[in-house]
Amino acid sequence: MGEFAKTSRRAFLRGTAAIAAGSFAGKAAAEGTPDPLITELQDWASYTGAGVDETPYGLPIRFEADVVRRNVEWLTASPISSINFTPIHALDGTITPQGCAFERHHSGAIELSKEDYRLMINGLVDRPLVFTYADLERFPRENHVYFCECAANTGMEWAGAQLNGAQFTHGMIHNMEYTGIPLRMLLNEAGLDTAGDLSDKWVYVEGADASSNGRSIPMEKALDDVLVAFKANGEALRMEHGYPVRLVVPGWEGNMWVKWLRRIEVTDMAVESREETSKYTDVYKDGIARKWTWVMDAKSVITSPSPQMPITHGQGPLVISGLAWSGHGQITRVDVSKDGGISWETARLGKQGDAKALTRFYLDTDWDGSPMLLQSRAIDETGYVQPTKDQLREKRGENAVYHNNCIQTWFVSEQGVAENVEVS
């Protein structure tokens, strides 16, 4: 710790000189010219600002207007059945604000009011039931932070480096604090005696939108940690995240987190719906597909520096930061390499991560201005180490589309510009 502090103090002094060419602050310090932002009276320090009711529900200040979701138009046929990407490169901490959390719709985001909302439980239950939204608010509820990652996140990168930005390579993910009812509590309300032996039973969940996206979840998971959620980050779910009620399936692929949840059916076999056969299955190199690949394995990415977040301050102190997560539990460690995987340093975790939630990591370092090949690798509580792209390809080939949790590489040039690359 002491050694590090000394290093960074020296680096700070050197860094100040190094960036003198680029910024006024540096120049002013070097030439002894006072900074007019300080010496001159500024408008905002003299005139009054906005009144309290100017924006009854606030949005980010206009200077942050580029921190928004973006889509990649050529990926899908229509924005109604498409996906966009969380601006993870520009965020810090772990919680994703709902307004910039990625969206994935199969038939568009719908407006469904609490008054019009109905949730049915039927199938192999003792008492098929219908709940209103008000009914749901009377069940005991819990708070949990979980990541939701689309199985296709990083899917464009199987065959090679494709998209230039952490937002586009890794932005099909968000992390929110959910308030919801354990699904087992609702199943208990309907009664499972009729279902008999639960070990081979399934719960089929379905949305109210035109796609009626439906997925089969094994009973064991349904009784474990699945939530029927109606709040995220303290407020109602946004329309695009399934208002008024969505399913939360911790650690498992985002497609199962059915939005606008309208029906829960206990069945004696998987429905094998379109989204669990023709999509969200993984073709390996031998042409055989894997199905029921629900868990999202441990993964990480450096969010800054990254192609959308170049280093603009020159040499000296540099915060390398990123996100790590695992569908198997907690992240226990993240290592960072600056040389493409020849050597690794263990990063600092922002705080001990929750199980199946995003964990923030930092490597506080001193950049000497030489090019870097930045990588991060996550290790989770099962001891699983995030694999390289080559390790994944060796097992699966390049046609898998989903579940690409490979180590990502950013090339950072002497100018601080970062680019998505693959390395040997």
Partner 1 sequence: MSKFLSLIVPSIGGAALVLGGAYGFASRDYGQAKIDNLTIRIAQTEAHVASAIERARMAEAEAKKADTERELLKLALADAASMRNDLATLAPVHEMSLGLGRPAHVDEIAAWDVDVLPDGRGLPPGRGDVWTGEEVFVEQCASCHGDFAEGVGNWPVLAGGLDTLADKDPVKTVGSYWPHLSTAWDYINRSMPFGAAGTLTADETYAIVAYILYSNDLVGDDFVLSDENFAEFEMYNANGFVIDDRSELEYSAWRGDPCMSNCKDMVEITMRATFLDVTPEGGGVSVMNHAAASDAPVFGVSASEDVVGGENAELFAAGERAFRQCSSCHAVGEGARNSTGPALNGIVNASIGAVDGFRYSGIFQDAAAAGDVWDQERLTAFLGDPKGAMPGTKMAFRGMRDQEDIDALIAYLATFEVE
Cα(123)–Cα(118) distance, rounded to whole angstroms?
16
CB-nearer residue toward partner 1: 191 or 350: 191
Asked if 29 touches partner 1 (CB under 8 A), the answer is no
What's the burial of 339, exposed, middle or buried (CB within 10 Å: 0-12/13-18/19+)? Answer: middle
Asked if 417 touches partner 1 (CB under 8 A), the answer is yes
| Part in contact with partner 1 (CB under 8 A); list of ranges 24-32, 198-206, 235-243, 249-257 | 198-206
Asked if 130 touches partner 1 (CB under 8 A), the answer is yes
Six token digits for residue 7: 């290093």
Closest CA to 109 of 127, 82, 131: 82
Q: From the CB of 424, what's the least distance to partner 1, in Å?
A: 5
Cα dihedral value 324, 327, 330, 334, nearest 10: -30
C-beta neighbour count of 369 within 10 angstroms: 15
Q: From the CB of 95, what's the least distance to partner 1, in Å?
A: 18
| Part in contact with partner 1 (CB under 8 A); list of ranges 12-20, 29-37, 319-327, 415-423 | 415-423
DSSP 8-state assignment for residue 93: S
Residue 227: C-alpha distances to residues 52, 110, 145 (Å): 36, 21, 11
CB-nearer residue toward partner 1: 135 or 366: 135
Asked if 37 touches partner 1 (CB under 8 A), the answer is no
What residues numbered 274-293 form the site for partner 1, per CB under 8 A?
274, 277-278, 281, 283, 285-293
DSSP 8-state assignment for residue 137: T
Asked if 177 touches partner 1 (CB under 8 A), the answer is no
Binding residues for partner 1, how many (CB under 8 A)? 121
CB-nearer residue toward partner 1: 39 or 78: 78
Among 95, 96, 101, 141, indicate the residue that binds partner 1 (CB under 8 A): 141
Q: From the CB of 40, what's the least distance to partner 1, in Å?
A: 28
Asked if 194 touches partner 1 (CB under 8 A), the answer is no
Closest CA to 270 of 219, 212, 194, 223: 219
Q: Are the C-beta atoms of residues 268 and 201 closer than 8 Å to each other?
A: yes
What residues numbered 214-273 form the site for partner 1, per CB under 8 A?
214, 219-220, 223, 262-263, 265, 267, 269-273
In the sheet that holds 70-71, the strands lie side by side as: 70-71, 82-85, 104-105
Six token digits for residue 178: 């959910």
Among 15, 165, 322, 327, indicate the residue that binds partner 1 (CB under 8 A): 165
Q: What angle do CA 217, 221, 222 make, to 5 degrees?
A: 70
| Part in contact with partner 1 (CB under 8 A); list of ranges 94-102, 234-242, 318-326, 385-393 | 385-393
Six token digits for residue 316: 């000296």
Cα(229)–Cα(208) distance, rounded to whole angstroms?
15
What residues numbered 315-374 form the site for partner 1, per CB under 8 A?
335, 339-344, 373
CB-nearer residue toward partner 1: 46 or 424: 424
CB-nearer residue toward partner 1: 310 or 317: 310
Asked if 71 touches partner 1 (CB under 8 A), the answer is yes
Among 97, 99, 310, 369, indicate the residue that binds partner 1 (CB under 8 A): 310
C-beta neighbour count of 384 within 10 angstroms: 16
Closest CA to 160 of 346, 422, 381, 339: 422
CB-nearer residue toward partner 1: 94 or 405: 405
| Part in contact with partner 1 (CB under 8 A); list of ranges 28-36, 127-135, 234-242, 360-368 | 127-135
Cα(265)–Cα(124) distance, rounded to whole angstroms?
7
| Part in contact with partner 1 (CB under 8 A); list of ranges 23-31, 42-50, 147-155, 213-221 | 213-221
CB-nearer residue toward partner 1: 29 or 68: 68
Asked if 411 touches partner 1 (CB under 8 A), the answer is yes
Residue identified by tokens 């190199």 is: 285
Asked if 168 touches partner 1 (CB under 8 A), the answer is yes
Cα(309)–Cα(323) distance, rounded to whole angstroms?
15
CB-nearer residue toward partner 1: 28 or 120: 120
